[in-house]
Amino acid sequence: MDAALTFPPIHMPSPRPIPATETAGGGDDEDVALMARIAEGDERAFRELVERHQNAVVGTVARMLNDPTEAEDIAQLAFLRVWKHAKRWRPDAKFTTYLFTITRNLVFNESRRRSRRKEVSTDEREEDSGFQMAAETRHEPQEETMKLEMHQQIDRAIASLPEAQRTAVILYSYESLPYEEIAKVLDTSVSSVKSLLFRARTNLREKLASYLAE
């Protein structure tokens, strides 16, 4: 990381879905204006950009990896790439498309790195995925505990989807991105995105069927 560059604090967002419209503030015009300032080395503009989009990026990474412990680090890497390449960026597409494309590539690289580390045990992965938090909250009211368990089951089911399906369903369901923007992030067609979402929903219903039956 650049020695002189400082990030605003990046923290895990709340577990509720956060629409892209909430994190995008005044829309793409403001992002374009901020990127123009960032290209000139304006750190204040960079911090503002991070604050506008950090919830969406951190939440997306956490759900894609089912690992909140890595989400903040990867989000920081994504924003660092935005900073480094700001001079080369052109507003040919929405800024969020550019940002989520960077995020997707970093997550895919991390997923592949993990797939090569066969020595990591299932117990360690479950602990990293937040299951320790479930034990710590066992004294909460039953309804809150059930909601937490449901969130965890859904997150685990989403994390087990194939990479393209997982990305599509997270960007569509949690970040409210339109089909066209998701297609650009995945470098595919709108019809392919709709097909991915259909298959993802089918897989999720199957994966969650036994839990929901209980």
* Domain coordinates in residue numbering, the chain: 20-213
Beta strands in the chain (DSSP E): none
Give φ, ψ of 157 to 5 degrees: -65, -45
pTM of the model: 0.71
* 8-state DSSP, 177: -
Fold for 20-213, please state it. Rna Polymerase Sigma Factor; Chain: A (1.10.1740)
pLDDT tens sequence for the chain (214 residues): 454 566 565 555 544 443 443 443 346 899 999 999 999 999 999 999 999 999 999 999 998 888 888 899 999 999 999 999 999 999 888 999 999 999 999 998 888 887 766 444 444 544 444 434 344 444 456 666 666 777 778 888 888 899 999 999 999 998 899 999 999 999 999 999 999 999 999 999 898 887 666 5
Count CA within 13 A, CB hemisphere, residue 180: 2
* 8-state DSSP, 118: T
